[in-house]
A and B are shown apart, each in its own frame.
Chain A
Amino acid sequence: GENVEQHPSTLSVQEGDSAVIKCTYSDSASNYFPWYKQELGKGPQLIIDIRSNVGEKKDQRIAVTLNKTAKHFSLHITETQPEDSAVYFCAASYYSGYALNFGKGTSLLVTP
């Protein structure tokens, strides 16, 4: 089955700095790579996703890059703000509507 590894497990940055979280996956058939943000006491919420026919996607301060050859994808958050503090999960799946395989999460702390 698919194995998704996520690094780092914790990340602390100062407000205004950039944050980068990296994930690798094992199954070359995977073609969908979402990123979820989970705030304390809440369920995960999708913040950005990328499909295998795209190398990069950007939405305001967040971007995701995908390298299918190397089987890794990354989340980039620029100009971080304290409200970006949360746990971020990457995931991989090989077809629509079926199981997501999640990484173990990165706890991001943005200090003012």
Chain B
Amino acid sequence: NAGVTQTPKFQVLKTGQSMTLQCAQDMNHNSMYWYRQDPGMGLRLIYYSASEGTTDKGEVPNGYNVSRLNKREFSLRLESAAPSQTSVYFCASSEATASYEQYFGPGTRLTVT
């Protein structure tokens, strides 16, 4: 049982490049989330998916798109990366019914130059 996995662990992009961050969970959770973490800012929600087939914007969605590919996988795409998107990105999942706890992945450290 791996929990929540994220790939890649590290990535460096040039301004304007695109990339997709991958997230998968093996806990059969309904809800999945993408957060970004910046120094002194805590964790801010980018997008979330309450259940398979649905996605909703969070606090800071501009510049990002998401896809809930199936119940296990939730990807985050940067279409045209900007230096302001340099951050650590965390994916999380939760059951949404039986338990409130959100389980976090190990994070992806992204640098945009």
Indicate if the CB atoms of A96 and B97 lie closer than 8 Å: yes
Indicate if the CB atoms of B97 and A103 lie closer than 8 Å: no
Whole-angstrom distance between the Cβ of B55 and the nearest chain A Cβ:
12
Indicate if the CB atoms of A98 and B42 lie closer than 8 Å: no
> Which chain B residues numbered 24 to 64 have a C-beta less than 8 Å away from chain A?
30-31, 33, 35, 40-45, 48, 50, 58-59
Indicate if the CB atoms of A98 and B31 lie closer than 8 Å: yes
Please, which residues of chain A bring their CB within 8 A of the CB of B8?
none
Q: A34 is contacted by which of B41, B101, B106, B107 (Cβ under 8 Å)? A: B101
Indicate if the CB atoms of B97 and A97 lie closer than 8 Å: yes
Indicate if the CB atoms of B40 and A43 lie closer than 8 Å: no
A96-B100, A97-B31 as given contacts; A103 in contact with B42, CB under 8 Å: yes
Indicate if the CB atoms of A104 and B100 lie closer than 8 Å: no
> Which chain A residues numbered 36 to 73 have a C-beta less than 8 Å away from chain B?
36, 41-46, 49, 51
A46-B101, A49-B101 as given contacts; A104 in contact with B41, CB under 8 Å: yes
A99-B33, A99-B58 as given contacts; A49 in contact with B43, CB under 8 Å: no
Interface footprint category on A: 20 to 34
> Which chain A residues numbered 71 to 109 have a C-beta less than 8 Å away from chain B?
89, 93, 96-105
Question: In the bound complex, what is the Cα–Cα distance between A19 and B33 (angstroms)?
Answer: 30
Please, which residues of chain A bring their CB within 8 A of the CB of B48?
98-99
One of B14-22, B67-75, B79-87, B88-96 contacting the partner: B88-96
Please, which residues of chain B bring their CB within 8 A of the CB of A6?
42
Indicate if the CB atoms of B43 and A102 lie closer than 8 Å: yes
Indicate if the CB atoms of A104 and B42 lie closer than 8 Å: yes
Indicate if the CB atoms of A104 and B97 lie closer than 8 Å: no
Please, which residues of chain B bring their CB within 8 A of the CB of A1?
59
Indicate if the CB atoms of A97 and B101 lie closer than 8 Å: no
Q: Which 6 A-B residue pairings sit nearest by Cβ, starting from the closest?
A: A97-B96, A43-B104, A104-B42, A97-B31, A102-B43, A102-B42
